[in-house]
Amino acid sequence: MTARPYVVLVLLLASLPAIALAQSAKTTLRDPVQAKRFNEVSDRLVCQCGCNMVLRVCNHQNCPSAIPMRHEIEKQIGEGEDDDAIVASFVAKDGAKVLSSPPAEGLNLAAWVMPGFALGVGLFAAWYFATRWAHKRKLAVAVPKGGTVDTALRERIEKELKG
């Protein structure tokens, strides 16, 4: 028995993920360059049916939003529109909610800045309370308070301990 059939099978199985990733998302465009542009534009938009999925991966059959949006993208690509112009046309029609990531300007800038800011505040708070706790532990070491122990009490304790 030769190893050739196994090698062919392994190579075929190894190439399946690459073939699956190279597929275009539900488009009728056959030109690979246009299909790539379709994928890039549809990755920048969100389906408006309420599923909140990126337009490229919206998997609802007969989706009332994704299908017309995809046809519109195909039409505009066929007319030679620029990718940014296609996205801008959807923003003009549906508003900024159609974008898959908010633009980094104005109040939307908070969506980009706040996660890092919150992480920094959390790390600072953890450091502050950890050092404060460690400092209190140092202060809590048993130290005799006041003066010396009464000698009569000390003699009685010693006597009880010895016997």
Q: Does residue 141 register a pLDDT over 50? A: yes
Please give the share of the chain, as a percent, with pLDDT higher than 70.
79
Residue type, 43: D
1-5, 12-16, 122-126, 157-161: which is most confident: 122-126
Q: Does residue 147 register a pLDDT over 50? A: yes
What pLDDT digit, counting tens, does each position of 8-19 carry?
Answer: 767 666 665 555
Of 16-25, 28-37, 89-98, 126-135, the poorest mean pLDDT is in 16-25
Domains of the chain (ranges; CATH) run 4-101 (1.10.8.640), 108-162 (no CATH)
Q: Which residue, among 72, 74, 107, has the nearest Cα to 92 in the 3D structure?
A: 72
Two tokens, residue 144: 């005799």
Q: Which residue, among 23, 102, 21, 25, has the nearest Cα to 71 in the 3D structure?
A: 25
What pLDDT digit, counting tens, does each position of 65-97 carry?
Answer: 888 999 999 999 989 999 999 999 999 998 888
- Element holding 67 (H helix, E strand): helix 66-78
Vertex 65, ends 60 and 71: CA angle to 5°? 100
Cβ contact 76:87 at 8 Å: no
Longest dimension (CA), the chain: 106
Predicted confidence at residue 27, as pLDDT, reads 74
Instruction: State how far the Cα of 160 lies from the Cα of 162, in Å rounded to an integer.
Output: 6
